[in-house]
């Protein structure tokens, strides 16, 4: 069962969630999107109607709600666009920052920052356990075009220091998350992950959508739609 695999490993891959025709239609809408685009892709893409519609598609909501509960909602989306023109590597890390509607000092939250006029704070592990990311692949993700690599089961270890993550990377065999066009990688934000530079001429575009159990993710802490 998918939810059991995510609970145990911290991630799961399911191919064939969307057809090539559906992905092609989404691509066309993203090309027309009136959103600030960097070489690496599009941040805060939930503002785009096509992205919001995709994030709320029953197939993706079904996965998110099977893991987080029936009230789970999407709140943030990012388009990653790795190609020979825009190529990068990401070292081992966890995703701990959440977009919030306002700044409220609270124990366990912070440091705080602002990105593109959106307030962010690093959240406690207990709060991040109520978050799931679904990475919809707009291209085939192979071993040569910079796929995500993960350290299985590290999502249960809490918020880790850089030193602890590097030590874990030396001990735990990394798994490359290879998915076909239209496939979805579901992952917990505290799962330690990284990616290498692409060695291919093929692009690797991923629409990364984050879901939470509810918008008020903690007392007086409301997620911003980003």
6 CB burial (10 A radius; 0-12, 13-18, 19+): buried
Predicted confidence (pLDDT) per residue in 118-129, tens digit: 999 999 999 999
DSSP designation for 198: P
**Does residue 166 form part of some domain?**
yes
**Does residue 221 form part of some domain?**
no
What is the model's pLDDT at position 198? 66
Predicted confidence (pLDDT) per residue in 148-173, tens digit: 999 999 999 999 999 999 999 999 99
| CATH assignment of the domain containing 155 | 2.60.120.620
**Does residue 226 form part of some domain?**
no
The Cα-based distances of 153 to 6, 57, 165 in angstroms read 9, 28, 12
What is the model's pLDDT at position 155? 98
Decide if 224 contacts 183 (C-beta within 8 A). no
DSSP designation for 12: E
Predicted confidence (pLDDT) per residue in 194-217, tens digit: 988 767 667 788 999 999 999 999
Decide if 200 contacts 144 (C-beta within 8 A). yes
Number of structural domains in the chain: 1
Decide if 132 contacts 71 (C-beta within 8 A). no
Q: Which domain holds residue 140?
A: 2-214
**Does residue 225 form part of some domain?**
no
- How many C-beta atoms lie closer than 10 Å to residue 152's C-beta? 15
**Does residue 222 form part of some domain?**
no
Q: Is the pLDDT of residue 139 over 70?
A: yes
By residue count, the chain amounts to: 226
């Amino acid at each position: 069962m998918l939810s059991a695999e995510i609970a145990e490993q911290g991630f799961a891959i399911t191919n064939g969630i969307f057809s090539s025709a559906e992905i092609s239609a989404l691509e066309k809408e993203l090309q027309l999107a009136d959103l600030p685009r960097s070489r690496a892709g599009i941040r805060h893409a939930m503002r785009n109607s096509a992205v919001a519609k995709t994030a709320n598609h029953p197939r993706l909501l079904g996965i998110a709600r099977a893991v987080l509960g029936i009230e789970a909602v999407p709140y943030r989306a990012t388009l990653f666009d790795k190609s020979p023109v825009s190529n990068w590597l990401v070292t081992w890390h966890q995703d701990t920052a959440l977009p919030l509607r306002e700044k409220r000092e609270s124990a366990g939250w912070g440091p705080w920052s602002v990105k593109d006029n959106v307030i962010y704070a690093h959240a406690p592990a207990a709060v991040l356990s109520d978050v799931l990311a679904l990475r919809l692949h707009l291209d085939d993700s192979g071993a040569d075009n910079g796929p995500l690599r993960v350290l299985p089961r590290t999502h249960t270890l809490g918020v880790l220091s850089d030193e602890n993550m590097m030590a874990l990377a030396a001990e735990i065999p990394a798994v490359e998350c290879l998915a076909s066009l239209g496939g979805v990688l579901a992952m917990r934000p505290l799962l330690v992950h990284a990616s290498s530079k692409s060695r291919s001429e093929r692009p690797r575009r991923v629409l990364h959508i984050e879901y939470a159990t509810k918008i008020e993710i903690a007392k007086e802490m409301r997620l911003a739609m980003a």
